[in-house]
Structure 1
Amino acid sequence: MKFSGKNVLITGASRGIGAQIARTLAGYGLKVWINYRSKPEIADALLEEIRANGGEGAVIKFDATNEAEFSEAIALIAQSDGELSYLVNNAGVTNDKLALRMKLEDFMGVIEANLSSAFIGCREALKLMSKKRFGAVVNIASIVGEMGNAGQVNYSASKGGMIA
């Protein structure tokens, strides 16, 4: 399967699942936009690896929980490539604690990173995609969103929200 001429933005792409998604989609011919929030050296190393394997990509720094930064990033991609074909909402964090000891800011921080960022990304990407009448969004959830884990009420709620 080839996606030549199309691009994809992957949030939280510099490591873990996001990095593997970037490698795989670059291998299918997509230009991958590697989003990171911190540690540019990791994102740059992934881009070098993708290019060394014949893929195409770019690195883009923004905080997926920041509405203005996310919107600006999508606008920059559209300006650079003329479109945004695909979005993979992969950015996510954990902050595990028993609910009895969890502060509201610990709960909300995970909700913002995992769920609010996906909403922002979907909304902004779909504005462009609907004009082109083409595109797709993939939201990365977790089995924990269907059946929680001890100490992960915030993570479970965020991933359950994505599934819903």
Structure 2
Amino acid sequence: MNKNVLVTGASRGIGKAIAICFAKNGYDVIVHYNGSQQAALDTLEQVKQYSSNSTLVQGNVSRQEDVQQMFKVIKETYGKLDVLINNSGITKDNLCLRMSEQDFMDVMEVNCKGTFLCSKEASKLMIRKKSGCMINMASVVGLCGNVGQTNYAASKAAVIGFTKSLAKELGLRHIRVNAIAPGFIQTQMTDQLSEEVKKQMLSQIPLQEFGTVEDIAQCALFLASENAKYITGQVIQVNGGMLM
């Protein structure tokens, strides 16, 4: 039986790259989305070129009833979950003095609470078979902060603390929990930046280039593999040396 993986926020960007990468490497992929159905269907179409037993689930990861329904579908379809990638995330940037309470809480709800809810449900399936792997998407911003992103930085720092604590809780059940902290990754967002801003960002990176979504996907694939069977509670930085 193939291993399977749930990738939250898999309709675009890093999540999409992870979904395709795992499919290419023999996993059945559960492609999650919240609002971008057509984009998620496009991801699923590409995934199914490599893994025909893959499927789609929809839900808001910050709502407990949505997450429970997602995992009900996973249990009924596969009967298990081998790997969880908590990738769903949002940004609502502003200076702290100008940031609304709602914008702060919205980011915390999706990035932090969503990771908690999905991990809680995944734990139930993984504990039954005493194996599994969870990978939480953190950020370099959660380690060093960033102007205009107090909410995002707080949420990703929380994900790091959550990762380390959950790794300690689940270690005896042979369930590994790690985090990836990407740096500046080339996406649609960075493509829209001015050349001046890109130059300034690149000056902070010793390798003098942005990372790619495939760089993050390959790191996730490694952490999910037997090659990483003795790695848990770690934050793997993928940032070209931006933060050491």
TM interval, short-chain normalised: over 0.9
Q: Does 1:84 align with 2:81?
A: yes
TM-score normalised to the size of structure 1?
Answer: 0.94
2:133 pairs with 123, 131, 136, which one? 136
Aligned counterpart in structure 1 of residue 4 of structure 2, from 2, 7, 10: 7
Deviations 1:42-92 (A, max 9, x none): 11111111223x223211111111111101111210111111111100000
1:147 aligns with: 144
State which of 40, 48, 54 in structure 1 corresponds to 2:37.
40
- Matched residue type, 1:13: A
Q: What residue number does 2:165 align with?
A: none
Q: Relative contact order (C-alpha < 8 Å, sep 6+): which is higher?
A: 1
Q: Is the aligned partner of 1:101 residue 2:98?
A: yes
2:56 corresponds to which residue?
59
| Equivalent position of 1:71 in the other structure | 68
Give the counterpart of 1:29 among 26, 31, 35: 26
- Return the match for 2:117 from 84, 108, 120: 120
* Aligned mates of 2:120, 2:48 — CA distance in 1: 30
C-alpha distance in 2 between matches for 1:89 and 1:46: 17
Q: Output the amino acid matched with 1:163.
A: I
Question: Are positions 1:18 and 2:15 aligned together?
Answer: yes
CA deviation map 1:91-130 (0-9, x unaligned): 0000000000011111000000100000111111001100
Structure 2: which 5+ residue stretches go unaligned? 162-244
TM-score by length of 2: 0.64
Which structure's CA Rg is the greater one? 2
| Distance across 1 between alignment mates of 2:59 and 2:78 | 18
1:39 shift after superposition: 2.0
Aligned-CA RMSD value: 1.0
Give the 3-state SS of the residue equivalent to 1:154 in structure 2. Answer: helix
Report if aligned partners of 1:74, 1:84 keep a CA contact under 8 Å in 2: no
Q: Give me the whole-angstrom Cα distance separating, in 2, the residues matched to 1:143 and 1:55.
A: 32
Task: Write out the 4+ residue segments of structure 1 that deviate beyond 4 Å after TM superposition.
Answer: none
